[in-house]
Chain A
Amino acid sequence: AQSVAQPEDQVNVAEGNPLTVKCTYSVSGNPYLFWYVQYPNRGLQFLLKYITGDNLVKGSYGFEAEFNKSQTSFHLKKPSALVSDSALYFCAVPRSHASGGSYIPTFGRGTSLIVHP
């Protein structure tokens, strides 16, 4: 079954430093992978997705993600963190549902990113 794992519950980084939020996947075939961000008291917002092609995917707010097939990883990165990047980040993979032909996004447990001033 398609799944993702986020090995870190929390990541701490100083403002201005590069940040990485990790995600590994277990997918049969070619994976479609997503990152979402959740700010306090808000719903999840789509950041970026990997479908095929370039292993480096650029997304919103200066974020990018690197797809690595040999390591089955899809880590989220940003060259210079901002305090306003502090939020909960979710990796996701669509999972085919047995009935109806739907693809249901399945989310990791989430990683809390804290950027210190």
Chain B
Amino acid sequence: DIQMTQSPSTLSASVGDRVTITCRASQSISSWLAWYQQKPGKAPKLLIYKASSLESGVPSRFSGSGSGTEFTLTISSLQPDDFATYYCQQYNSYPVEFGQGTKVEIK
């Protein structure tokens, strides 16, 4: 099975900050990676797919990059609505695996 490792686990930032979250796969997954945002008590929401494709309706301040085993999610200017937990997910093969999550907190 492919293991996904996110870093950091928690990130403290201020409104307006540029934020970067990293996700590493235990083996190459090409570009078959998605990013999700989850707020407390809510279902996850798809932000990015195929490593860098922005889901319809998602603000352009979110971007994704990477391929192979190293991926990043960047929020160019953090907004109050962005404080949440973010998960990466590989879908190169089953079982699909999620990273352990990165909680973005208010500094």
A, B from the same assembly: no
Query: Chain B residues in contact with chain A, CB under 8 A?
Result: none
> Hey, which bits of chain A sit against chain B, CB under 8 A?
none
